[in-house]
Structure 1
Amino acid sequence: MAQGDKAAVLPLETFYHGERLDQVRLSPDGSKLIALRHVKDDTLLQLIDLVSGDAVYLARTDNIKYKIGWVRWANNSHLLLSFRFGGVRGMGVKTHETRLFSMEAKEGAEIIPMVARTQKDEHQSQFQDDVIKIGFPDQDHFLLSLDREVAGQDNVYQVNVKTGKMKLQHKHKPGINSWMVDRQGVVRVGLGYDEKNVEYKIRLLPPGSEDWMTAWQWPAFSEQAVSVLGFGKDPKDLYIRANHEGRNAVFKVDLSKADFPRTLLLSHPQYDLEGGLIYSEAKDEPVGIYFSADGADSWYWDEEFKAFQAGLDKVLPDTVNYISDLSQNDRTYLVYSTSVTSPGTYLLGDRNDKSLMALAETNPGLDETTLVAKQKIQYKARDGLAIEGYLSVPPGSKAAPLVVFPHGGPFSSDNNSFDPFTAYLVNKGYQVFQPNFRGSTGYGHEFMSQAIGQYGMAMQDDITDGVQYLIAEGLVDPKRICIMGASYGGYAALLGVARTPDLYQCAISFAGVFDLKEQRSSYRKFTSYNLAKKQMGTDNDLLEQNSPINLVKQIKAPVLLIHGTEDRSVSVKQSRWMADELKSAKKQVQYVELENATHHLDYYSHRKATFEQIDAFLNHYLPL
């Protein structure tokens, strides 16, 4: 879109509908595709025959009882599907649960459970979809890491994809939660978490050895952390992500040598490398890693795939182009092409005839004619720390009102990719500021660790300092600013109007945290409780001082609170209590409770209600 052009304001549904298409997967022989299609509240599993062009729907869910978490090919004829839903365990604890199923890739096929129901008194695994290898020992079987005997300690089972018949392959060990295998299907990595001491460890079985050994061990949130990414064709080649000069980088580890020496493969001087490995199916080797940071895309160490990617980028020059799937011979492939002004397009390619065909857009109606690029900005916090953020400006509207939109997490970050809330706000006519305050991920361990036990302190100042920077630069009208966010972002929004009551004209929170002590306590029935205490801090006075529910008297701006009753991450009582306190203090507050809504607004009807409430609130309290 040219600067100065003004885009037509699109219907709200364009933004809250969500992706129409995702999880597009290519069969191993490259002859068929599967995809999840989303039609309002329903999700349909579609099969497309690339030879005949025929397309059929294999399954449908209304997403009320369960969602399809993921789907993948088990072989050329059968699929594996993970179903995700909210369950209730002992003592009324609400949980996330997964179940694993298979089905033949044909219309009318039966959906078959891969993990049989346990007896009444036996342990029922919470997560049943940790598939660690497909096609082993043959195309009719796969390997599953599952805690069927002892809670939290997985066995490895060989499972028949057609019947669900299971055979124990590797038995659980104390201190090990889950397992990984090499490319030959040998169990070679054990991942452990000590909840009492809040420590992680990685156990390894080197090739040619019968003795397991602890390769790495570290306390939570330590820069010593190691992530196992996968194996090479040779079982001695292990690929990991670990610290290199303050940033996460990719290494190859030689397991055949006693000290496990590392060879640095890829690193970035400014950003962590956070994506997963890209494998060549034909070579049975990792060839690169998915990575994106302002124009950088997938990175490769394999020369063939470097050239392959360069060819794609030449044909598709204005987008980041990810090779998202490959056939077994690497000749047929899928590309996911995206940018902030192009939410996503799937393309089908053939390396033999050098063809590349667009399949479908993920968000029809949103493209470069209706979206604008995010501008990266850099500013200094009050203590001198350099902070990055993104500013989105409607064309020809530099004096537009500003919506400050801090991310959730807080261990996450915003980037220059498409997101529906920013797109909606900018299309409506607002500027949007997304600060990556200290504690955001992707900027190295030291930057991230400043969120540990620091909720509401310098992290919040970074947001305030970013807004003040925009005001000082003459980019924002200081009397036309609202702050909104979800989860931790919702917490930051309410803390913003409490700590700096004259800076914002309104605040919006979805699924926000307002009582830090109560949020920390909500983990007490889970194995992550000690981790939560370390993350959020143990100083109760500090938690109370930084909880918006204790700062209600300082709030001047009108507030909109939205929360779902089936939120498994932040209890709905957080918003109920905050709404009650605001009403008792005679503050301007609107509270909207969404029946059966989740933390991530998984359902169309809940996204619709959320966007409509936000739209009406902004029309009233931050009019254009």
Structure 2
Amino acid sequence: MSFSSTRLLTPLAACLLAALPLASLAHGHMKASASLTVGDTPLIPRAALFGNPVKAGAQLSPNGKWLSWMAPVNGVMNVWVAPSDKPGEAKAVTESKDRPIPGHFWSGNSEQVLFVKDNAGDENFRLYGVNVATGEQKDYTPFDKVRVRMMGGSTTRLDEVLVGINNRDPRWHDVHLLNLKTGELKLVMKGDGYAGFQVDDSLQVRLAARPNAAGGIDYFEVKDNAAADKPFLSTSLEDSSTGPIGFTTDGKTLYWMDSRDRDTTAVFAQDTRTGERKLIAEDPRADLGATLRDPVTGVVQAYAVDYLTNEWKFLDKRLKADFDWLQKQLGPGEVFVSSRTRADDKWIVGIDPVSKVAATYLYDRKAKKLSPLYVARPELQGAPLVPMLTAEIKARDGLTLPSYLTLPKGADTNGDGKADQPVPLVLLVHGGPWARDGYGYNGQHQWLANRGYAVLSVNFRASTGFGKKFLNAGNQQWGLAMHNDLLDAVDWAVKQGVTTKDKVAIMGGSYGGYAALAGLTFTPTTFACAVDIVGISNLETVLGSIPPYWEALKKQMYIRMGDPTTEEGRAILRAASPLYKADQIVRPLLIGQGANDPRVKQAESDQIVSAMKAKNIPVTYVLYPDAGHGFAKPNNRIGFNAITEAFLGQCLGGRVEPLGETVRQSTAQIVHGAEHLPGLVDATKK
């Protein structure tokens, strides 16, 4: 695992603030318009879009002997394993009964499947392993209230990995050597004060990163598991996107993504002996950092440029020939490789056609043979899925906002990418805010478009991936320029004839939930209604309750949001907090919250609901006692989306699949305001 996953910016993107799967006043007079637009398009069941996939996340063991994937066992996602030449003999090797396992990966020796799992969404992840031959499962980090981090694996020390564990001090992750066969943990280096480490293929810690007072990172060389006294490289907040990507297997080259002396990050190769750096790739439109690397040598073979769409650029001619051949076989869409054997003779490949069902294949490179493995959601085959359109929207200060628009089936009869007539619109805001929206199949876009809504997702300033000027333009602009970007995008949609000003809802999770609350408080009549999922209502309280292992992130967060340790900073945070303007809300609001959320705690939703109740302002508040930062369990995900669909239908007039049993089948507790949504009271009766 590369150090880039532990750089300050990347945890921030996973922070408050990450993207999520995701009272009522009647505004039903758009119903006829929405119905005409959708026409006779079949209703796609919510369960088909948001239920468990049949299979997902396929991986090959490094030796190519085994195939693995995620699939349900009694409705809960677990890990399955099969011989790579006999996929039909797959068996479940885990038995989680309460909460889905989020994903898995293979040990270097190809003997263990490894996975992490938390408890009821608390994000205290433990590392587990299952021996595929014996079925024996081990809890490698049997500590309470501890979050494990993977730090490195090896192509030579196959039975060992490096992991970070914060059991000594919850703020810092100490580096431990873990023997996967015996379970023995050996302390390698304490993590006091460090945001993360970079290790090489021999499992030696080579670099340490420590946040500095400028909001950037100081990088230190590490020898004999001790960091140097002085950093060899320091960045400021402006260049906090700069950081290592990883070493080649021989340790002689270290790849960096670097934004110094440029706007977007470029990829460099540094000679670790001489320090000489060579430019590998750059693009003025987008930050670079995603690469494909040789599984044996670790040499970069290709890099991704993700501006409006993701494009792979190849440095290795053989790899390009493989991708060209795969593209011809699989047709339109983005080809991606999710797993490669150590011999690089077999790949797991997929295709994302956006408006068709994605499929996954086993690719034999030598034989040039594609073998279908599965379609993740076969129930969507033949469903009326629709394209995603790209757009560059100008903000009021001239900043270009890369954005994505999805129109309902039948809304663009001549295929010119423009709506024939205005339809209701849902502004779907991503989390983070230090994250981004991207192009590709999007279940939420497909769901909402199928119900008769145009869907617009905007990469507002502070989003990552578009250069440091774009990112830093969002510093201390919560509720200000960041909010204005969303308003400017709505104005664009109105001018394009996509929608009308009075038929726009705002919806999102985490930061997107904050944006929904900001929409109803800072601009009370701009949006017809709002859906807030685990959103922040008070920036002061959310910064005061962040998990202890975010200690290394605090300085950067304070600079980007407002410093709660100073009066000036507290004033900025209060001014940007929707809680203090809750009495301004005049439009319908739906709130969904996980009781165990460690990032945006339940208090964030509780306090704005209390403020609204005190002023007799309607609000519907749904709490899930077994959920965290989002709804991982499919019954909760489907149940909340059912409530959301009914809410939007009442507000904007789109089509609604009946609530049915979905709410009862979830763990939803309607804390307040069930009466504001017709049918919700009955739908919750057991």
Q: TM-score, normalised by structure 2?
A: 0.81
* AA in 2 matched with 1:499: F
Please list the CA deviations of residues 514-537 of structure 1 after superposition, one character each: whole Å capped at 9, or x if unmatched. Answer: 122222222385514444322211
Matched residues in 1 for 2:75 and 2:289: separation? 32
Q: 1:97 — aligned with what?
A: 124
1:390 aligns with 2:404: yes
Q: Secondary structure at the match of 1:222?
A: helix
Q: Measured at CA, do residues 281 and 540 of structure 1 come closer, stay the same or move farther in structure 2, by a change above 3 Å?
A: closer
Q: 1:459 — aligned with what?
A: 482
Matched residues in 2 for 1:481 and 1:508: separation? 12
**Shift, 1:183, TM fit:** 2.9
Q: Secondary structure at the match of 2:380?
A: coil
Q: Measured at CA, do residues 478 and 589 of structure 1 come closer, stay the same or move farther in structure 2, by a change above 3 Å?
A: same
Q: 1:216 — aligned with what?
A: 233
Matched residues in 1 for 2:103 and 2:528: separation? 39
CA contact (8 A) 1:403 1:481 kept: yes
Q: 1:43 — aligned with what?
A: 77
1:8 aligns with 2:18: no
* AA in 2 matched with 1:535: R
Q: Measured at CA, do residues 486 and 290 of structure 1 come closer, stay the same or move farther in structure 2, by a change above 3 Å?
A: same
**Shift, 1:359, TM fit:** 0.9
**Shift, 1:47, TM fit:** 0.7
Q: 2:468 aligns with which of 423, 433, 445?
A: 445
Q: 1:249 — aligned with what?
A: 266
Q: 1:422 aligns with which of 445, 453, 462?
A: 445
Q: Secondary structure at the match of 2:119?
A: strand
**Shift, 1:608, TM fit:** 1.7
Matched residues in 2 for 1:12 and 1:4: separation? 17
Matched residues in 2 for 1:25 and 1:593: separation? 35
Return 600-609 or 342-351, whichever deviates more.
342-351
* AA in 1 matched with 2:181: K
1:616 aligns with 2:634: no
1:374 aligns with 2:393: no
Please list the CA deviations of residues 92-148 of structure 1 after superposition, one character each: whole Å capped at 9, or x if unmatched. Answer: xxx632222222113x6111233466xxxxxx78233424113543x3333334456
CA contact (8 A) 2:270 2:278 kept: yes
1:132 aligns with 2:152: yes
CA contact (8 A) 2:198 2:207 kept: yes
- Whose helix fraction is larger, Structure 1's or Structure 2's? 2
1:272 aligns with 2:307: no
Please list the CA deviations of residues 124-177 of structure 1 after superposition, one character each: whole Å capped at 9, or x if unmatched. Answer: 78233424113543x333333445666656555443322112445x44376545
Q: TM-score, normalised by structure 1?
A: 0.88
In the TM superposition, what are the counterparts of 1:225-624 in structure 2 within 5 Å?
225-243=241-259, 245-257=262-274, 260-275=275-290, 277-342=291-356, 344-366=358-380, 369-397=383-411, 398=419, 399-523=422-546, 527=551, 528-538=553-563, 539-624=569-654
Structure 1: give runs of 5+ residues left out of the alignment: 88-94, 118-123
CA contact (8 A) 1:374 1:390 kept: yes
Q: Measured at CA, do residues 586 and 43 of structure 1 come closer, stay the same or move farther in structure 2, by a change above 3 Å?
A: same
1:164 aligns with 2:183: yes
- Whose strand fraction is larger, Structure 1's or Structure 2's? 1
CA contact (8 A) 1:280 1:326 kept: no
Q: % of aligned pairs identical?
A: 24
Q: Measured at CA, do residues 395 and 552 of structure 1 come closer, stay the same or move farther in structure 2, by a change above 3 Å?
A: same
Q: Measured at CA, do residues 177 and 439 of structure 1 come closer, stay the same or move farther in structure 2, by a change above 3 Å?
A: closer
Q: 1:27 aligns with which of 61, 77, 82?
A: 61
Return 452-461 or 14-23, whichever deviates more.
14-23
Matched residues in 1 for 2:439 and 2:241: separation? 27
**Shift, 1:69, TM fit:** 4.7
**Shift, 1:233, TM fit:** 3.6
Return 278-287 or 601-610, whichever deviates more.
278-287
Matched residues in 1 for 2:582 and 2:626: separation? 28
Q: 1:90 — aligned with what?
A: none
* AA in 1 matched with 2:147: F
Matched residues in 2 for 1:383 and 1:177: separation? 35
Q: Secondary structure at the match of 2:423?
A: coil
* AA in 1 matched with 2:137: I
Please list the CA deviations of residues 229-265 of structure 1 after superposition, one character each: whole Å capped at 9, or x if unmatched. Answer: 11124422101111162001211111221xx232111
Q: Measured at CA, do residues 568 and 396 of structure 1 come closer, stay the same or move farther in structure 2, by a change above 3 Å?
A: same
* AA in 2 matched with 1:127: R
1:201 aligns with 2:218: yes
CA contact (8 A) 2:161 2:203 kept: no
**Shift, 1:282, TM fit:** 4.1
Return 487-496 or 46-55, whichever deviates more.
46-55
* AA in 2 matched with 1:443: F
Matched residues in 2 for 1:435 and 1:355: separation? 39
Q: Secondary structure at the match of 1:82?
A: strand
Q: Measured at CA, do residues 215 and 21 of structure 1 come closer, stay the same or move farther in structure 2, by a change above 3 Å?
A: farther
Structure 2: give runs of 5+ residues left out of the alignment: 1-36, 412-418, 564-568, 655-686
Return 288-297 or 392-401, whichever deviates more.
288-297
CA contact (8 A) 1:387 1:438 kept: yes
> RMSD in angstroms over aligned alpha carbons?
2.9
* AA in 1 matched with 2:239: E
Q: 1:143 — aligned with what?
A: 162
CA contact (8 A) 1:345 1:361 kept: yes
Q: Secondary structure at the match of 1:613?
A: helix
Q: Measured at CA, do residues 143 and 621 of structure 1 come closer, stay the same or move farther in structure 2, by a change above 3 Å?
A: closer
CA contact (8 A) 2:38 2:451 kept: no
Matched residues in 2 for 1:335 and 1:156: separation? 33
Aligned length: 599
Q: Measured at CA, do residues 212 and 302 of structure 1 come closer, stay the same or move farther in structure 2, by a change above 3 Å?
A: farther
* AA in 2 matched with 1:466: A
Q: Measured at CA, do residues 476 and 518 of structure 1 come closer, stay the same or move farther in structure 2, by a change above 3 Å?
A: same
Q: Measured at CA, do residues 569 and 7 of structure 1 come closer, stay the same or move farther in structure 2, by a change above 3 Å?
A: same
Question: Using CA pairs below 8 Å that are at least 6 residues apart, which structure has the higher relative contact order?
Answer: 2
Matched residues in 1 for 2:495 and 2:298: separation? 55
**Shift, 1:489, TM fit:** 1.1
CA contact (8 A) 1:69 1:84 kept: no
Matched residues in 1 for 2:139 and 2:588: separation? 50
Please list the CA deviations of residues 574-593 of structure 1 after superposition, one character each: whole Å capped at 9, or x if unmatched. Answer: 21221222233232321111
In the TM superposition, what are the counterparts of 1:48-67 in structure 2 within 5 Å?
48-53=82-87, 54-64=89-99, 67=101
Matched residues in 2 for 1:500 and 1:153: separation? 41
Matched residues in 1 for 2:161 and 2:547: separation? 35
Please list the CA deviations of residues 81-100 of structure 1 after superposition, one character each: whole Å capped at 9, or x if unmatched. Answer: 3233369xxxxxxx632222
Matched residues in 2 for 1:438 and 1:52: separation? 49
CA contact (8 A) 2:248 2:299 kept: yes
CA contact (8 A) 1:20 1:39 kept: no
Q: 1:91 — aligned with what?
A: none
